[in-house]
Structure 1
Amino acid sequence: MKHPGQMVSAEQLIERQIARLIKENIGKGPVSTEVKITEDLVVCCFEGYLTKAEELIIGSGYSEKIIEYRSRYVTQCISEIETILKEILNRKIKSFFPSWIPEKNLACWTIFLD
């Protein structure tokens, strides 16, 4: 819990903004988001990101459809993700690699910075 006057880290700012972006575009944000930043790398991990409809599709054996859908979605959001990173880190995206484990309701974005 943050106390008045306590600074928020870049990781926390990115966590909040990325979770908000996902929620605004899909209708449900992740239950938890964790971001780690190194010199030229940002890793965003998400738990509990699936909608009820996606969970039903996965339960029917079509995980690959959810991976395809989520990959297309995130590709369309690259410019918005880059805007968040520019505002907070003053850096651009060099490469972006999303990965998904829908059966466990986990996702990870590996972002290499320019």
Structure 2
Amino acid sequence: MMLDKQAQTEIASYVGRLLRDSFGKGPQSIFVSINRPFVVLYLKHFLSPTEKILLHQDQIHSIQSTRDLLMKSLIPEIKAYLLVFAGMKIGEFYYDWGLHNHSGVMVGIESGDDDEPISLESDYTGKEELHREISTISQQVEKKPDEVHSFLINERNLVVIRNGILISIEKELIRIGHEESLRLAKRNLEKSHLHNNGHFQSFLNAKINDVFVDWDFHLDKSVIVFILNPGQ
């Protein structure tokens, strides 16, 4: 089910206000894509004046850490709004930032019957090749995923889900309280591999404007989002 344009505009407006109130400056634009059970929010031109100074000083870790802290309080509010306004009970929530592009993404996945597979998975150009490449990159960085699934939300949003990606040392780091450090390290490492890979555009026959990645360590699960510009 696709929510109408007015609903998408209302969601974008609400999240924009929420970010502006918390960060002092909101995104210039937010593009909302809903194809249940997924909602994807793509943020453009999102960088506060203070963050711009920190970015020029190469203080990326400081920006990411601060944003992670703020998002902990914002995610419950966004989930509550989506439940009331769109009737979407969001079980999983992921986000990531493209600081070099002043961009960001948020992904919500509705909670449902764990035994019921997501029916949205569809064929698209380059799907098998993309799955193989994602598995190869994952193996280089940590381990080959137990499962890879992908969902073309619309022509501009491709969501890839990996299950079973953590190795034993990572699970132990999480257990002893180093989850945030692990997240920052994996974010930098994986994104360098994803951004520097020239194969994805040829597989998908589309220009890739942005790539984002986030994890739910307790579910041993990761979400990758490709923002596409089809036909280029």
Aligned residue among 24, 38, 42 for 2:21: 24
Q: Secondary structure at the match of 1:35?
A: strand
Aligned residue pairs, count = 108
Q: Which residue of 2 aligns with 1:11?
A: 8
Q: Select between 22-31 and 38-47 the one with higher mean Cα deviation.
A: 22-31
Q: Which residue of 2 aligns with 1:82?
A: 79
Q: Tell whether 2:36 aligns with 1:39.
A: yes
Deviation track 1:58-78 (CA, whole Å, cap 9, x = no partner) reads: 111111221221122112111
1:94–1:111 CA contact under 8 A, matched in 2: yes
Q: Which residue of 1 aligns with 2:183?
A: none
Aligned residue among 98, 101, 120 for 1:101: 98
1:71–1:98 CA contact under 8 A, matched in 2: no
Q: Tell whether 2:56 aligns with 1:59.
A: yes
Q: Secondary structure at the match of 1:37?
A: strand
Q: Secondary structure at the match of 2:47?
A: coil
Q: Which structure 2 segments of 5+ residues have no match?
A: 112-232
Cα distance in 1 between the residues matched to 2:62 and 2:95: 15
Amino acid at match of 1:93: I
Structure 1 ranges of 4+ moved more than 3 A: none
Q: Secondary structure at the match of 2:46?
A: coil
Q: Which residue of 2 aligns with 1:3?
A: none
- Taking structure 2 as the reference length, what is the TM-score of the superposition? 0.44
Flag the structure with more relative contact order, 1 or 2, with Cα contacts below 8 A and sequence separation at least 6: 1
Deviation track 1:4-24 (CA, whole Å, cap 9, x = no partner) reads: xxx852211110100011112
Query: Larger C-alpha radius of gyration, 1 or 2?
Result: 2
Q: Secondary structure at the match of 1:77?
A: helix
Cα distance in 1 between the residues matched to 2:22 and 2:33: 23
- Taking structure 1 as the reference length, what is the TM-score of the superposition? 0.87
